[in-house]
């Protein structure tokens, strides 16, 4: 991944209705979203010039904003059109897309009902979330020091910026220990997710995944569930205790950035990426790069 700073690049960002030069897409230091985490975002991928499941992402962005108590002043169709325009302006056939909406700087305080709502969309090159070597070997995860909160203590159904703070802390902790990522438990002690990707276990040929009742039900997660069912695999969504990792033959993560990434290690547990991982990696790649991608976008 490029080390080029994100505030000093060529290109354009869609900002509140217009494409502006990348370096001019700026906000004030007293923006409410910076101080009080009143911000929501999406992560999307462009394959062969098409944004995979664009409308689903735009719909979730709007829904996330409503959960945080604000309405994005552009419709889902307008957000879709703005995204396509930004992708076209980037000139990139394969890329990452980051729409973000936030409360502005009109009000500084916990209550900010009168703040203006802003929307920006940026597009940049982003290869696999993990290095090819690490991905093919199965990435290494340690246990996260933080847990996913309960739905009555945080807006867990929203892709809200503030919910990623403990993900950042957990990933920093993992990298400091030599791991690629960390596995988070939920508030009850069940398996939840990695710091930014959903979790799947292969147990005796069936696919098991935690119920997404206190963390984000990923679009890639749902896509992989559909692909697994199309292959005739049994998919079980349940609360999974940590000791069930000992029963798993394969483990993998899913997410827009991670795509389908095999896991080789979680704490004391070891796994070998096998036929189920390989099949779903191939199916996902064929789907996002195939003829159906444009229709889905």
Q: What is the pLDDT of residues 155-209, one digit of tens each?
A: 999 999 999 999 999 999 999 999 999 999 999 999 999 999 999 999 999 999 9
Residues 6+ apart with CB under 8 A from 77: none
Amino acid 290: pLDDT: 82
User: pTM for the whole thing?
Assistant: 0.92
CATH class of the region 132-292? alpha beta
Residue with tokens 């710091």: 195
Q: Does residue 220 surpass a pLDDT of 50?
A: yes
Q: Does residue 7 surpass a pLDDT of 90?
A: yes
**What number does CATH give the domain 12-124?**
3.30.470.10
Tokens found for residue 35: 């101080």
What mean pLDDT comes out for the span 114-124? 97
State the CB neighbour count (10 A cutoff) for residue 180: 22
Are the C-beta atoms of 155 and 67 separated by less than 8 Å? yes
At residue 17, the 3 state secondary structure works out as coil
- Residues 221-229: contacts with CB within 8 Å, 24+ apart? 221/254, 221/255, 223/53, 223/254, 223/284, 223/287, 224/200, 224/254, 224/260, 224/280, 224/284, 227/280, 227/283, 227/284, 227/287, 228/280
Number of H helices, E strands in the chain: 8, 16
**Interval 87-103: pLDDT, tens:** 999 999 999 999 999 99
Q: Does residue 25 surpass a pLDDT of 50?
A: yes
State the CB neighbour count (10 A cutoff) for residue 136: 14
**Interval 127-142: pLDDT, tens:** 766 665 666 789 999 9
CA dist 23 and 112 (Å) reads 28
181 strand-pairing partners: 141
- Residues 125-134: contacts with CB within 8 Å, 24+ apart? 125/2, 125/92, 125/94, 125/95, 125/96, 126/1, 126/45, 126/95, 126/96, 126/257, 127/1, 128/259, 128/261, 129/197, 129/255, 129/257, 129/258, 129/259, 129/261, 130/180, 130/258, 130/261, 134/180
Are the C-beta atoms of 171 and 183 separated by less than 8 Å? no
State the CB neighbour count (10 A cutoff) for residue 213: 17
CA dist 160 and 186 (Å) reads 17
Known catalytic residue: 159?
yes
Q: Model confidence at 122, in pLDDT bands (50, 70, 90)?
A: very high
Residue with tokens 């990923």: 218
Residue with tokens 């005796």: 204
Domain ranges for the chain, please list them.
12-124, 132-292
Q: Taking Cα atoms as reference points, which of 150, 34, 46 lies closest to residue 95?
A: 46
CA dist 272 and 262 (Å) reads 8
Are the C-beta atoms of 121 and 90 separated by less than 8 Å? no
> Per the residue annotation, which of 159, 171, 177, 247 is the catalytic one?
159
Amino acid 133: pLDDT: 64
258: DSSP letter = T
Q: Does residue 295 surpass a pLDDT of 50?
A: no
Q: Model confidence at 3, in pLDDT bands (50, 70, 90)?
A: confident
């Amino acid at each position: 991944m490029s080390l080029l700073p994100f505030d000093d690049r060529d290109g354009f960002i869609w900002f509140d209705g217009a494409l502006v030069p990348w370096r001019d897409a700026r906000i004030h230091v007293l923006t409410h979203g910076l101080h009080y985490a009143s911000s929501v975002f999406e992560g999307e991928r462009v394959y062969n010039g098409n944004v995979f499941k664009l409308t689903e992402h735009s719909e979730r962005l709007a829904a996330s904003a409503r959960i945080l108590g604000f309405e994005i002043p552009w419709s889902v169709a307008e957000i879709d059109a703005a995204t396509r325009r930004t992708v076209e302006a980037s000139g990139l056939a394969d890329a990452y897309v980051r729409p973000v909406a936030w409360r502005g700087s009109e009000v500084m305080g916990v209550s900010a009902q009168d703040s203006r709502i802003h929307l920006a969309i940026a597009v940049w090159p982003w290869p696999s979330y993990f290095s090819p070597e690490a991905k093919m070997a199965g990435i290494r995860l340690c246990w996260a020091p933080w847990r996913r909160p309960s739905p009555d203590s945080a807006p867990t159904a929203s892709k809200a910026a503030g919910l990623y703070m403990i993900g950042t802390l957990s990933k920093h902790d993992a990298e400091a220990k030599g791991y690629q990522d960390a596995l988070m438990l939920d508030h009850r002690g069940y398996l939840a997710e990695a710091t930014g990707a959903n979790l799947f276990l292969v147990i005796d040929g069936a696919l098991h995944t935690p119920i997404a009742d206190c963390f984000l039900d990923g679009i890639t997660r749902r896509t992989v569930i559909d692909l697994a069912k199309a292959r005739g695999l049994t998919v079980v969504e349940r609360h999974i205790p940590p000791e069930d990792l000992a029963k798993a033959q394969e483990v993998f993560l899913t997410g827009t950035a991670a795509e389908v990434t095999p896991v080789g290690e979680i704490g004391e547990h070891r796994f070998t990426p096998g036929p189920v991982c390989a099949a779903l990696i191939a199916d996902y790649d064929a789907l996002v790069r195939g003829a159906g991608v444009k229709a889905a976008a």
